Amino acid sequence: MKNTPFTEKHIALGAKMAPFGGFNMPISYTSISDEHLCVRSNAGVFDVSHMGEFMVKGEGALELIQRITTNDASKLTDGKAQYSCFPNGNGGIVDDLLVYCVEQNKTYMLVVNASNIDKDWAWVTSNNTHGVELHNISDRTGLLAVQGPKATEYMQTLTDMDITALKYYTFCKGTFAGIENVIVSYTGYTGAGGVEIYFEDTNGNAETIWNAVFGAGGPHGMKPIGLAARDTLRLEMGFCLYGNDIDDTTSPMEAGLGWITKFTKDFTNRDIFEKQKKEGVTRKLVGFEMIDRGIPRHGYPIQNAKGDDIGVVTSGTQSPSLNKAIGMGYVVTEDSAEGSIIFIMIRDKALMAKVVKMPFSN
């Protein structure tokens, strides 16, 4: 099991640690609800150094990315990023990822999920048929996500870059906390605002950045946050988690990711997805809220009023912000419309739920 540059910090702070994506990661420090609400109302710091980063450089870099991702990376200019996914050749998803344009047509950074680093690297390299320059920099890259409505305000005190002016899915590169060549981006997965800080994990950079970040935000109530609250935060927004809501058996069209599937270019599986868009899919990923009392969990069956199995829960929780049980799951298309009544099988009981629009709301 791997450590991040901050593992000893988490242990010293009394975090509950557990394996995640092959790394020893903090799940929570206090309670999930407290940490979740801290991010929604103030700011919190997530160690996401377990994520993977690949550099794609030189002639053919854009062409390779265009072939192996669903979104249209040709629209990216310097300092812009986009959400995308790798289709797997069989109509499923290898992984979802972020594509950062460092220098248009020449240099890109792909940010992938920790549990899929090896799989994704194999996928990218196996499709690199034109000798594009590739570097897997995952092991030497540290990453903190400082999330919340106050996060950018606190972090602005540590840099001359105008990070308060960043728009969603943009980034800048410069000096942060005295460390050079730091990327600060606004691509967060919590829906609470904030920035992500990428840095090279050498020469004590991790210690310097951790101390500076908490020196700036700690006096104002900013706290370290574990992965459990990261999960509840992203679920409230209706954001997919790879391995739960999307995987090698789900298509972007089924998962509601048609918006990152652009048919203005050629890419792996284009014909399959274009057919699904034209003819429709037999199942869809939906959000639902519980009407009856009960908390949905990954893998619970979903039924209709007749007791027929119509799908399965992919994610579920008791929402700290909304104070109600919510979830996501795949259901047959005829039961996927907003307002549809479905039943979640919890401990052999069929509990009523309603399909709702995401992001979830009161």
- pTM: predicted TM-score of the whole model, two decimal places: 0.97
Here the CATH number for the domain that contains residue 39 is: 3.30.1360.120
Task: Name every residue whose Cβ is closer than 8 Å to that of residue 343 and which is 6 or more positions away in sequence.
Answer: 302, 303, 304, 305, 350, 351, 352, 353
- Largest interatomic CA distance in the chain: 63
Q: In terms of C-beta density within 10 A (0-12 exposed, 13-18 middle, 19 or more buried), how is residue 68 classed?
A: buried
Task: Tell me which residue of 109, 163, 172 sits closest to 135, measured CA to CA.
Answer: 109
Note whether 219 and 287 are same-domain residues. Answer: no
Q: Is residue 11 part of a domain?
A: yes
Q: What is the pLDDT of residues 19-63, one digit of tens each?
A: 999 999 999 999 999 999 999 999 999 999 999 999 999 999 999
Note whether 27 and 159 are same-domain residues. Answer: yes
Q: What is the pLDDT of residues 152-162, one digit of tens each?
A: 999 999 999 99
Task: Tell me which residue of 200, 198, 177 sits closest to 187, measured CA to CA.
Answer: 198
Which residue range forms the structural domain that includes residue 25?
A: 7-49+139-235
DSSP state letters, 42-87:
S-EEEE-TTSEEEEEESTTHHHHHHHH-SS-GGG--TTEEEEEEEE
Q: How far apart are CA 101 and CA 97, in angstroms?
A: 13
Q: How far apart are CA 34 and CA 31, in angstroms?
A: 5
Q: Is residue 87 part of a domain?
A: no
Residue 361, amino acid: S
Note whether 332 and 184 are same-domain residues. Answer: no
Here the CATH number for the domain that contains residue 357 is: 2.40.30.110
Q: Is residue 91 part of a domain?
A: no
Q: How far apart are CA 91 and CA 105, in angstroms?
A: 28
Number of domains in the chain: 2
Q: How far apart are CA 329 and CA 314, in angstroms?
A: 5
User: Which pLDDT tens digits describe the chain residue by residue (362 residues)?
Assistant: 999 999 999 999 999 999 999 999 999 999 999 999 999 999 999 999 999 999 999 999 999 999 999 999 999 999 999 999 999 999 999 999 999 999 999 999 999 999 999 999 999 999 999 999 999 999 999 999 999 999 999 999 999 999 999 999 999 999 999 999 999 999 999 999 999 999 999 999 999 999 999 999 999 999 999 999 999 999 999 999 999 999 999 999 999 999 999 999 999 999 999 999 999 999 999 999 999 999 999 999 999 999 999 999 999 999 999 999 999 999 999 999 999 999 999 999 999 999 999 999 98
Q: How far apart are CA 112 and CA 51, in angstroms?
A: 6
Write down the residue that tokens 């899919």 correspond to: 281
Q: How far apart are CA 327 and CA 244, in angstroms?
A: 11
Q: In what order do the strands lie in the sheet with 133-136?
A: 80-87, 93-103, 107-112, 52-57, 133-136
Q: Is residue 65 part of a domain?
A: no
Note whether 222 and 288 are same-domain residues. Answer: no
Note whether 172 and 314 are same-domain residues. Answer: no
Q: Is residue 241 part of a domain?
A: no
| Radius of gyration from C-alpha coordinates of the chain | 21
Q: What is the pLDDT of residues 318-350, one digit of tens each?
A: 999 999 999 999 999 999 999 999 999 999 999
Q: How many CA atoms lie within 13 A of 150 on its CB side?
A: 19
Q: Is residue 174 part of a domain?
A: yes
Predicted confidence at residue 362, as pLDDT, reads 83
Note whether 183 and 293 are same-domain residues. Answer: no
Q: Is residue 62 part of a domain?
A: no
Note whether 220 and 289 are same-domain residues. Answer: no
Note whether 36 and 144 are same-domain residues. Answer: yes
Do 362 and 296 form a contact (C-beta atoms < 8 A)? no
Note whether 359 and 220 are same-domain residues. Answer: no
Predicted confidence at residue 190, as pLDDT, reads 96
Task: Name every residue whose Cβ is closer than 8 Å to that of residue 241 and which is 6 or more positions away in sequence.
Answer: 231, 234, 235, 315
